[in-house]
Each structure stands twice: as C-alpha cells, then as structure tokens.
C-alpha cells in the first residue's frame, strides 16, 4: 500500500522540476537524520510551511507576519480598497495578503499619482512596496539618470523623486524593509498612453523608468517585483485589464500578486 508523507518545516527537500521529479528515491534531511523513501511507494507529499517551496511554486499556506505593510503606488494600488464600481474581486495587495498575512496593511496609493506624490504618503511602517512609473510616463515626468538618484540632483526627474521617497522611508524607519516594483505594461487608455505598450510619449519609453527602478534596486540591494517583465504584454494586456489597457482585472491583479509575493518573502523577518 502506498503511503503519504508529511514534511515538516525543519526538513530540507531535494527537488527537481524535470519529468523525473525525484528520481528513484526521496531523501529527507532533519538535523543529522536522513530518511529515504522509494518513490514507487509514495502516494502524495504534503508541505506544512510555505517557505519550504522555492520561489515561483504556488502555495496557499498563509504566513502570519506581525508587522505593518505600507503600499505606495498609483491607482493600480489605490483601487485595491477604493474601487466603487465592483469591477474586480481583489487587488494585488489583498491577493498578497492571502498568503502573507501582515498584521496591518495601509493603502497609500494615489489615483493618477506620479512618484512625487508618494513622498507625502510615506507613513511609519515595517515594510514598504513602491509601485510607480506608469503615470510618470503618461504625464511626461523627465526620467533623469541614475546619477540623479545617487547625487539627489534636484531637477524634478523621476530618478530624483525616487531618491527622495526612499530617503523619506528610512527617515521614518531606519530599519524599513523595501521592495521596489516596476510598472506593469499598459497602453491606450483613451489616448493617455501610446497605442502600443512599447511605444513612446514625446520620445520617452516606459522602459526608461523601468531601467532606473532596476538600477536603484540593484544599488540598494532591494528585492524587485518586476511587473513590467512578468505581468503581461501587448498580446494579453487587454484580456487582463478592466479597460484598454491600464488597470488590471482579477487575472491581471493575480499575476501581480504572484510576482510580488516571492519578492516580499525575501525580506520578511520572522
């Protein structure tokens, strides 16, 4: 008779995502003890801790986090709590909270907001996420350079204001944990954006803002939730949006949560 195995949180599991997932045996290590199981006799495997799973493998287990999460962002963030039209079931933050159950989450998104708007929205919290860039593109905020971020060059650029927001966060909590988010691709929205998600506005591309965010994340050692790279493109954005094609629907928000969860998990302190 086949048996089911329950792996507890102290186990280290050797895994592979190939067609021979575990080969002929499964070896489970707990402290100095090792137990081998013949795969032909194993019916199922149950994990009791989400952090046993590598990034990218879905898990529905909830982690309780005794901490406060402040979400800074655009209307894509704002609508998580303030959609009055019932156009979707859950935003990306609520979907993230389904797995990472923070004691408190404060939505500091600004509808139509650019990165500059986040400065006055910074409150004291333990964890911060920053979702900005799409409105800076739509409203022609100068991109600036990474040197503008490094030197705090007061030129009104996206890079400068990103530095100001980061500095503001650490001024209210020097031990803050920060995750940066690149903007999700978008297009059209009644002419607010180009007809193509890779198009330009006055010679500025959304990727220009994305590249600044990626440089900041690398420089500061912040995890990156790369919505731009991983949350849809021209072919499927309309299907994953409530409109054409800026604000996510349930499918679009779930994809964002799938990208944000592993990034947040990298900085969660238990």
pLDDT of residue 31: 45
**What is the SS3 assignment for 112?**
coil
Phi and psi (nearest 5°) for 151?
-95, 0
Catalogue all structural domains in the chain, each as residue range(s) with its CATH number.
3-48 (no CATH), 63-265 (3.40.50.1110)
Per-residue pLDDT, 115: 98
Question: With the C-alpha atoms ordered 217, 241, 116, 262, is the resulting torsion angle positive or negative?
Answer: negative
Q: What is the pLDDT of residue 4?
A: 39
Is residue 201 packed enough to be buried (19+ CB in 10 Å), middle (13-18) or exposed (0-12)? middle
Query: Which string of b and e fits 49-75 if b means at least 16 CB within 10 Å?
Result: ebebbeeeeeeeeebebebbbbbbbbb
Counting as low any pLDDT under 70, the low residues of the chain are 1-60
Whole-angstrom Cα distance, residue 177 to residue 264? 9
Number of neighbouring beta carbons within 10 Å of residue 121: 18
Quote the pLDDT of residue 157: 98
| Alpha-carbon Rg for the chain in angstroms | 21
pLDDT of res. 155:
98
């Amino acid at each position: 008779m086949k048996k089911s195995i329950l792996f507890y949180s102290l186990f280290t599991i050797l895994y592979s995502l190939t067609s021979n997932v575990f080969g002929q045996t499964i070896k489970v290590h707990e402290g100095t003890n090792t137990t081998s199981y013949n795969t032909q006799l194993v019916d199922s495997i149950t994990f009791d801790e989400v952090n046993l799973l590598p990034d990218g493998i879905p898990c529905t287990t909830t982690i309780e986090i005794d901490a406060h999460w402040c979400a800074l962002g655009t209307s894509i963030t704002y609508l998580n709590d303030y959609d009055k039209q019932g156009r979707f079931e859950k935003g990306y933050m609520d979907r993230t909270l389904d797995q990472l159950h923070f004691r408190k989450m404060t939505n500091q998104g600004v509808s139509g907001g650019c990165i500059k708007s986040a400065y006055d929205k910074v409150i004291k919290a333990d964890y911060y996420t920053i979702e900005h860039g799409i409105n800076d593109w739509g409203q022609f905020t100068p991109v600036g350079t990474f040197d503008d971020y490094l030197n705090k060059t007061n030129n009104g650029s996206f890079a400068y204001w990103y530095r100001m927001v980061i500095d503001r966060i650490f001024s209210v909590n020097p031990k803050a944990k920060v995750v940066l988010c690149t903007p999700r691709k978008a297009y059209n929205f009644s002419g607010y954006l180009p007809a193509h998600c890779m198009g330009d506005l006055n010679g500025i591309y959304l990727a220009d803002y994305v590249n600044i965010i990626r440089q900041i994340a690398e420089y500061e050692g912040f995890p990156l939730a790369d919505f731009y790279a991983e949350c849809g493109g021209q072919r499927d954005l309309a299907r994953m949006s409530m409109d054409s094609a800026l604000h996510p629907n349930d499918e679009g928000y779930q994809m964002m949560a799938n990208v944000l969860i592993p990034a947040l998990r990298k900085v969660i302190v238990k």
